[in-house]
Amino acid sequence: MLQDVDQKTYEYGMLRALGFKEGHLMTLISIQSFIFSVPGIICGICTALILNMLFRGMIYLVSDNASGFWLTSTALALGVSFGLLMPLAAIYYPV
């Protein structure tokens, strides 16, 4: 995302020079951030769920301890919040 921002610095500057309002530019950048982050969040949560089920299954076989195989709500909330907030911070800071 930072590379994309670096590549578009000139484009954003030209838009501002042509009268594009700062609020509209931030909206454009936010939408672009969500386009990058939503598929990443979905892939990350699916990967975490599969690995969680695999490792908990292995631990269950070794320790004879039963536990749920699903991700906790805290893990999901942290994953989604970091997945949404970090790309925004990565884009807003350089701009």
Q: Where are the domains of the chain?
A: 2-92
The structure's pTM equals 0.65
| Residue 1 pLDDT > 60 | no
Cα–Cα dist 19/31, whole Å: 20
pLDDT at 47: 92
Cα–Cα dist 52/66, whole Å: 14
pLDDT at 70: 76
| Residue 66 pLDDT > 80 | no
pLDDT at 21: 87
Q: What's the mean pLDDT in 3-23? A: 78
Residue with tokens 């906790």: 72
pLDDT at 82: 87
